[in-house]
Amino acid sequence: AQSVAQPEDQVNVAEGNPLTVKCTYSVSGNPYLFWYVQYPNRGLQFLLKYITGDNLVKGSYGFEAEFNKSQTSFHLKKPSALVSDSALYFCAVRANTGGFKTIFGAGTRLFVKA
Amino acid sequence: EAQVTQNPRYLITVTGKKLTVTCSQNMNHEYMSWYRQDPGLGLRQIYYSMNVEVTDKGDVPEGYKVSRKEKRNFPLILESPSPNQTSLYFCATLSNTGELFFGEGSRLTVL
């Protein structure tokens, strides 16, 4: 069965500091991995994805994520946080076995302090 | 502009009063899905549709119905809403590049 764990309910970081939002997953076969962001009163927006190839993927708004197969992780990172990055972040996984079902983590709320 | 449009955005209703949340997309995507978002639980899939007239249950389908009579529309029907269906609902389509494209959400309160 597919599952996603986001071990931190909340991450606090000062503006200008690097940020990491953690995600680990479990899936049969090779995974498709995604990060989505949700701003208040808005729908989820796609940030980045890993399908195949380079383990470091770059996405919108300066975010990047590193796929680590041995640790089954896909942590979201940004070198220098902005106050406007404060939002709810969701990690998601889909098996590449032909189906389209996407499983989401519980979400991590990121607070960036000025 | 590519859009997934949900209506209503906010609704307060009473137990047992049938309601429908509409979802419409203008991207010609085949796959559409409904999710509910609850604190600490992330998003859970209610129903999905691979194409017109093809629908199937997700992880939490109890108390919900859907239909897909045309490609652009995928309404979510609550025949007899109960308080445990109070939630934030999202409709999503699957883009040709593999990521989900979400509507703005519908916040439903059942009293």
Task: For residue range B23-80, list pLDDT tens digits in order.
Answer: 999 999 999 999 999 998 999 999 999 999 999 999 999 999 999 999 999 999 999 9
What secondary structure does DSSP assign to A52-68, as a single string? SS-SEEE-GGG-EEEEE
Give the pLDDT score at A98: 63
Q: With CB atoms and an 8 Å threshold, state whether B45 touches A101.
A: yes
Confidence of residue B21 (pLDDT cuts 50, 70, 90): very high
CA–CA distances in Å: residue A96 to residues A29, A54, A108, B1, B19: 7, 17, 25, 29, 36
Give the pLDDT score at B69: 97
Task: For residue range A63-98, list pLDDT tens digits in order.
Answer: 999 999 999 999 999 999 999 999 999 999 988 766
Write the burial class of residue B87 (CB in 10 Å: 0-12 exposed, 13-18 middle, 19+ buried).
buried
What is the mean pLDDT of the segment spanning A31-58? 93
Q: With CB atoms and an 8 Å threshold, state whether B99 touches A46.
A: yes
Q: With CB atoms and an 8 Å threshold, state whether B100 touches A46.
A: yes
Q: Which residues of A14-51 are buried (b: 16+ CB within 10 A; e: fewer)?
A: eeeeebebbbbbebeeebbbbbbbbeeeebbbbbbbbb
Q: With CB atoms and an 8 Å threshold, state whether B99 touches A49.
A: yes
What is the mean pLDDT of the segment spanning B95-104? 93
Q: How far is B104 from chain A (nearest CA, A)?
A: 4
Chain A from 74 to 93: CB within 8 A of any B CB: 90, 92
Task: For residue range A3-43, list pLDDT tens digits in order.
Answer: 999 999 999 999 999 999 999 999 888 889 999 999 988 89
Chain B from 48 to 67: CB within 8 A of any A CB: 48, 50, 58
Q: How far is B43 from chain A (nearest CA, A)?
A: 6
B2 pLDDT above the threshold of 90: no
Give the pLDDT score at B16: 96
